[in-house]
Amino acid sequence: MALVVSVIVPTYNRLAQLRRMLEALGRQDLSLAKFEVVVIADGCTDGTDPYLQSLAGPLAVRAFAQENNGPAAARNRGIAEARSDLVVFLDDDVVPATDFLSEHLRTHAGRKGIAVIGPLLTPADYHLSAWNAWEQAMLEKQYTALAEGKWTPTARQFFTGNASVARSQLIDVGGFDERYRRAEDVELGYRLAKRGVEFVFNPRARGYHYANRSFRSWLDIASVYGRHDAVFFQDEEQRRWQTVKEEFAGRHKLNQALVRGCLDRPRLSELVSAMLSGLSVACHASGLERGSRAALSGLFNLRYYQGVCDEIGGRKRFLAD
């Protein structure tokens, strides 16, 4: 039986999550002979390497170990090692539904030049921290808009926790840019789009995201995403600037006021951030999820737009008409 898809999984010191994900891949409704799993252990020190080497059974897992070079480098290694032209990217903390691979294949059937995006859903059996719950809510808001046709899928939803694309197209654009350790998938998505790749959303290609990001990591990511988004809109300067301004104008008025007041004012920003952090925790503990999410939204927006501001040259330029 011919191999039709390669599943590429980068992993770093998340052995328990990796086990759970591989077990779910073993339960796919697609014949195990039709797909392989290419796991790249990116400098793991938690026993992942011997676990992968000890695997035996019908699930075809090909494991490769390397020094810790980040997710972009790990996925590039996976692309190089994959033996099928269609690759599915899956994160080690995402548990695929039983028909996950079948849905990706169904969407690609008879079509060329597309990248398929599947949703990263919140598991019903998992308790999320307040900040991870907020992030999942924002993701699911996007997926609802995509499923209802209110949004058209773009490179900005090309999250490689759950996505598929032809290997030949990935090679054509040079793979992932290994300079980036965050948002490297979205950056790749922009380059795919420039080559004419169409993004297609399949809400039935479900992956369940067992998110366990630390609060500090969540905060850091917000500013990194802001810096990267300012860089990624590179077709032309005016378009980049206009996109950033239009998105800011669409934010909640309270978030706009918060950002305007705190940009490039580090002491005030740190004070406000501490207050919002405390408020989110208190609201979450009291079951006031709406208040917790409002506080986290303000905090994320503040960090994100400070990142944009740092990249484009300061608050005066950002706030200029």
What single string gives the DSSP state of each residue in 242-280? HHHHHHHHTS-HHHHHHHHHHTT-HHHHHHHHHHHHHHH
The pLDDT value given to residue 230: 76
Say how far apart CA 216 and CA 265 lie, in whole Å: 20
Q: How many CB atoms lie within 10 A of CB 192?
A: 23
Report the pLDDT value the prediction gives residue 229, as an integer from 0 to 100: 78
Decide which of 151, 186, 209 is a domain's last residue.
Answer: 209
What pLDDT is recorded for position 64? 97
Q: CB burial class (10 A; 0-12, 13-18, 19+) of residue 55?
A: middle
Predicted pLDDT at 234: 52
pLDDT in tens, the chain (321 residues): 688 999 999 999 999 999 999 999 999 999 999 999 999 999 999 999 999 999 988 999 999 999 999 999 999 999 999 999 999 999 999 999 999 999 999 999 999 999 999 999 999 999 888 899 999 999 999 999 999 999 999 998 999 999 999 999 999 999 999 998 888 999 999 999 999 999 999 999 999 999 998 988 998 889 888 888 777 655 544 555 667 778 888 889 999 999 999 999 999 999 999 999 999 989 988 888 889 999 999 999 999 999 988 887 888 888 875
- Residue at 193: amino acid letter: A
DSSP structural state of residue 166: E
pLDDT at 236: 45
Q: Residue 18 contacts by C-beta under 8 Å, 6 or more apart in sequence?
A: 9, 11, 39, 48, 51, 92
Tell me the C-alpha distance between 93 and 118, whole Å. Answer: 15
In the block, residue with structure tokens 């899956």: 90
d(CA 51, CA 19) in angstroms, rounded, equals: 9
If asked whether residues 170 and 267 sit together in one domain, one would say no
Residue 321: per-residue pLDDT: 57
Which SS3 state, helix, strand or coil, does residue 9 take?
strand
Interatomic CA distance for residues 151 and 130, integer angstroms? 27
pLDDT at 240: 58
**Is there a contact between 193 and 185 (Cβ–Cβ < 8 Å)?**
no
Read off the pLDDT of residues 153-172 as tens digits, 9 standing for 90 and up: 999 899 999 999 999 999 99
Q: Are residues 270 and 312 in the same domain?
A: yes
What does pTM read for this prediction? 0.91
Domain boundary among 151, 181, 209: 209
Q: Are residues 234 and 296 in the same domain?
A: yes
Number of CB atoms found within 10 A of residue 81's CB? 16
Question: Are 171 and 76 contacting, i.e. CB atoms less than 8 angstroms apart?
Answer: no
pLDDT at 6: 98
Same domain, 186 and 220: no
CATH number for the domain including 155?
3.90.550.10
Q: Burial of 8 by CB count in 10 Å (0-12 exposed, 13-18 middle, 19+ buried)? A: buried
Tell which residue, 97, 88, 62, 117, has the closest CA to residue 6.
Answer: 88
> DSSP of 58-85, one letter per residue?
SS-EEEEEE----HHHHHHHHHHH--SS
- Looking at 176, 209, 242, the residue that finishes a domain is 209
Strands 114-117 and 162-166: antiparallel
Instruction: Give the pLDDT score at 1.
Output: 62
| Total structural domains within the chain | 2
> 94 and 196: one domain?
yes
Predicted local distance difference test score (pLDDT) of residue 18: 97
Q: What is the pLDDT of residues 104-147, one digit of tens each?
A: 999 999 999 999 999 999 999 998 888 999 999 999 999 999 99
Domain range for residue 134?
5-209
